Amino acid sequence: MKTAPLRHLGSPVTRSELGWTVMRLTLAGLIAAHGWARFLDGGMEPFGAWLLSQGLPMGLAIAMAVTAVEILGTPLLALGRLVTPLTLLYSLIYLVGIAMVHAKAGWFVVGKGRNGAEYSVLLIICLLCVGLQHAGKRSAAQSSSRGHP
């Protein structure tokens, strides 16, 4: 009786696939918004200068690369292409962000703190779960199309 409202969504497998798709699309949208906002607001140069001030060489090149990955990689993520490598790369980017910025500000993004790590941690966990869900999908599909188990 609990699952009656969900019957129109088909099987549990169908609902699971829908849930993972919604998660992947949401992540792609959030990450794209981050990259586009930096690009359109002229934030790459200040980001690059800040990276230089933190002792990283080629700060502007790093800022441009991060922005490009956030903008160019997200359509691929949304389309379900290169999901696992992209989710690992985004997770690495946000892990570095935690180490360089957010951990110093504490845990909370708002409320009991400001600019903390909680949002980045949530993004990383969601990214890793989506990447794990997609890991091996292509090779499994290729194997079954070749008649291999």
The pLDDT assigned to 109 comes to 86
Residue owning tokens 């499994």: 140
- What residues have CB less than 8 Å from 127, skipping those under 6 apart? 27, 87, 88, 90, 91, 94
pLDDT digits (tens, 9 = 90+) for 65-101: 999 999 999 999 999 999 999 999 999 999 999 999 9
| Identity at 5, one-letter amino acid code | P
* C-alpha distance from residue 106 to each of 38, 117, 148 (Å): 23, 6, 50
The pLDDT assigned to 61 comes to 97
Q: Is residue 11 helix, strand or coil?
A: coil
Query: What is the 8-class DSSP label of residue 8?
Result: G
What's the CA gap between 67 and 63, in Å, rounded? 6
Residues of the chain with pLDDT under 70: 1-8, 138-149
* C-alpha distance from residue 65 to each of 20, 22, 73 (Å): 27, 27, 11
Backbone angles phi and psi of 17, in degrees to 5: -60, -40
Look up residue 22 and give its two tokens.
């919604």
The pLDDT assigned to 145 comes to 46
Q: Are 117 and 99 in contact (CB under 8 A)?
A: no
Which residues in the chain belong to E strands, given as ranges?
A: none
Look up residue 133 and give its two tokens.
């869900």
The pLDDT assigned to 11 comes to 85
Give the global pTM. Answer: 0.84
Residue spans of the domains in the chain: they are 10-145
